[in-house]
Amino acid sequence: MKKNARQIALDVLNDIFGNDAYANISLDRNLRDSELSPVDKNFVTALVYGVVSKKALLEWHIAPFLKKQPKPWAKMLLLLTVDQILFMDKVPTSAAVDEAVKIAKRHDGQATANFINAVLRNFMRSDHRNEEPKDWETKYSMPKLLLDKMVRQFGGKRTGEILESLEVPSHVSLRKVDPNVIVADSRPSVLTESALIADSGNFAATAAFKAGQITIQDESSQLVAPLLEIAGGENILDACAAPGGKTTHMAQYLTTGHITALDLYDHKLELIRQNAERLHVADKITTQNADATQIFETFGEEKFDRILVDAPCSGIGLIRRKPDIRYRKESSDFLNLQEIQLEILASASKSLKKSGIMVYSTCTIFDEENFDVVHKFLETHPDFEQVEISHEKSNLIKEGCIFITPELYHTDGFFVAKFKKN
């Protein structure tokens, strides 16, 4: 039997919370195998990310009406339906409830269908649906570990601003490969000349994307390539390159120079090659399966003019676009990642030529993986100095580094530091 949009969304949600699947991977797999229209595929995506980003809040809304604990799939069906009722203006409540009852009946018979129907009817009749929890952990569905870390680092006021900003859907950010390209329904970024912003749209299906005139890349990450001061002939190492957004951006600055792009996984290296082909810079990039913590052992001493370490990190800055990230963190993760980040920088530093430039970036907002890494690297590498970064938007500069939190410009959270080898 052909699955409709809500059934597929329920399958994906049960995969995420029942099997610990990654949201984007499960969505891709389930949508690829479906016969849904593009509009319905977008609806499934909105349903899944809506529940993932509001799970604690939805559970709070439904809790008073559960006289018994439903099976996990049935509870997820309730959350899926309450999300439509409360937060999707274009979805009629009657359609959401009717479809939930049908799914429950198909899945487990009339008794479960009656239970789902009764819970949803009681919820709709109650004033509780118009109330709001007072604690941020529930209101923003943010796990206590991350919430506490945010408050410690940013204070209550800014944490509230960050959390509120994450409630607003991400916009689409494009990089102009052809500087003269005109893209309908987009506007210039205030952060970098290379970026265009759009409120929505499937730009991967446009002729400009297929022709390699534009690519999809967050505007904050587009700040990285210019910092490497590429004149054209440099030998560059991109130590953690996949999927290749920054790699191909750096390649745009090259004439006779070349980039070696590393990753641990062949399927990710293939993504870099595909991106490079589409953007017409494949002749400037060589991919290589290698461990970034073994750069010196692989390439030897002082081989590269420029090195980019876009380090593996907790990815907390990406929560708006990847809301399931919030459920995958343990307190030990942050320090473990810091050790790996320092190990990569230490190995890369030996393969950088004297007077060479090394840029370190992450897509997280926590100090352990950002400023603490910079301080510890400089303490143990006296042959390196920090190069202070400047930008006309002074509020994204802190301690000579770029540090963007999501509420400032509605971008991903991002960090960039720059070093020079003496």
DSSP strand pairing (195-198 vs 172-176):
antiparallel
Contacts of 63 (CB under 8 A, 6+ apart): none
pLDDT, tens digit (0-9, with 9 covering 90-100), for 210-233:
999 999 999 999 999 999 999 999
Catalytic residues: 363
pLDDT, tens digit (0-9, with 9 covering 90-100), for 282-292:
999 999 999 99
Question: What DSSP designation does 410 have?
Answer: S
Q: What is the mean predicted confidence (pLDDT) over 63-80?
A: 94
Separation between Cα atoms, residue 306 and residue 353, nearest integer Å:
8
Binding-site residue ranges for S-adenosyl-L-methionine? 240-246, 263, 291, 310
In the structure, what pLDDT confidence band is assigned to residue 202 with cuts at 50, 70 and 90? confident
Separation between Cα atoms, residue 190 and residue 199, nearest integer Å:
15
pLDDT value, residue 1: 64
Contacts of 283 (CB under 8 A, 6+ apart): none
Backbone region of residue 132 per phi and psi (left: phi > 0; alpha: psi in -120 to 50; beta: other values): beta
Class of domain 219-421: alpha beta
Angle between helices 5-19 and 72-87 (to 10 degrees): 120
Burial class (CB within 10 angstroms; exposed 0-12, middle 13-18, buried 19+) of 24:
middle
Nearest residue to 173 (alpha-carbon basis) of 162, 184, 189: 189
Q: What is the mean predicted confidence (pLDDT) over 79-89?
A: 95
pLDDT value, residue 329: 81
Q: What is the mean predicted confidence (pLDDT) over 2-8?
A: 90
Task: Cite the beta strand spans of 117-227 per DSSP E.
Answer: 172-176, 187-188, 195-198, 214-216
Binding-site residue ranges? 240-246, 263, 291, 310
Of 45-49, 159-163, 331-335, where does mean pLDDT reach its minimum? 331-335
Contacts of 409 (CB under 8 A, 6+ apart): 190, 191, 219, 220, 393, 396
Question: What DSSP element (H or E) covers 59?
Answer: helix 55-62
Handedness of CA 266, 269, 275, 277 (dihedral sign): negative
Our CA angle for 251, 256, 262, nearest 5°, is: 45
Of 38-42, 297-301, 390-394, where does mean pLDDT reach its minimum? 38-42
Whether 84 has a pLDDT exceeding 80, the answer reads yes
Structure tokens at 23: 């949201």
Separation between Cα atoms, residue 113 and residue 62, nearest integer Å:
16
Residue listed under structure tokens 């910079």? 374
User: Domain segments of the chain: what residues?
Assistant: 5-131, 137-167, 219-421
Whether 399 has a pLDDT exceeding 80, the answer reads yes
Domain 5-131 coded CATH 3.20.20.70: no
pLDDT, tens digit (0-9, with 9 covering 90-100), for 15-39:
999 999 999 999 999 998 888 998 9
* Domains 5-131 and 219-421 equal at CATH topology level: no
